Amino acid sequence: MKIRAKIKGSKVHDVGYRPFLVQAGFELGLEGLSVRNVVEEGKQVVLVLVEGGKEEINEFTEFIKNNYPENTEVKEIKFEEYSNHVPPIEGTMNFQLLEQVNKGIPAVLDLRETGKELKKIGNRILDKQDQMLGKQDIMIDKQDQMLGKQDIMKQDQMLGKQDETVDEIKGVRQDLKSYMNERFDHLEK
């Protein structure tokens, strides 16, 4: 037994409808299955050719009527008898696998190019980080020099204060000596 199904809707392409139907057909034991995306009168259509026993085809048509992939918008499903060749389901599975691989190749090539670009960007970032670290090292050296100069300035200030204190003590001693001499002179008299 052979049938053709047309699944029409505003969103039946690019939602995984074909692999969805092939998996169901394989699980139901269909002998032949072909699933293609076509456009008829500007509308999206999934064209399904099926071959198998009456029971398997009835189960498959019920599956098509009651199950849809996620994000699908189906408007109409039509079934009709079909008499031409239907490829074996294994051929359809292999074809879809190759189709998916072919879709993935540009993405892999893009990823490879993107990876090269990311590596270049990463290397530029590392170069900039190295430059920044070099500048930080220079800044740390300058800070160390400034701290050393501050230490010297503080020591110089302390030595200056110490000299002032010594001079002041000498002045007090001198004043005290003069005062004591006056007092002794006064006492002697």
131 found inside a domain = no
CA 75 – CA 48 distance, rounded (Å): 16
| CATH number, domain containing residue 37 | 3.30.70.100
List the structure tokens of 82: 């079909």
What pLDDT score was predicted for residue 128? 86
Are 22 and 93 spatial neighbours (Cβ–Cβ below 8 Å)? yes
What pLDDT score was predicted for residue 150? 78
Torsion of CA 158, 159, 164, 170, to 10 degrees: 130
CB-neighbour burial class of residue 69 (10 A; exposed 0-12, middle 13-18, buried 19+): middle
Nearest to 44 by CA among 15, 80, 21: 15
47 found inside a domain = yes
Strand partners, 6: 47, 78
Q: Report, as ranges of residue numbers, the positions in the chain whose pLDDT lies below 50.
A: none
Strand partners, 11: 73
CA 22 – CA 94 distance, rounded (Å): 11
81 found inside a domain = yes
46 found inside a domain = yes
Tell me the residue length of the chain: 189
102 found inside a domain = no
What pLDDT score was predicted for residue 101? 77
61 found inside a domain = yes
Domain that holds residue 52: 2-87
Query: What Cα–Cα distance (Å) separates residue 49 from each residue in 41, 80, 137?
Result: 20, 10, 73
Asked whether the whole model's pTM tops 0.75, one would answer: no
What pLDDT score was predicted for residue 79? 96
123 found inside a domain = no
What pLDDT score was predicted for residue 20? 93
What pLDDT score was predicted for residue 89? 87
Q: How many domains does the chain have?
A: 1
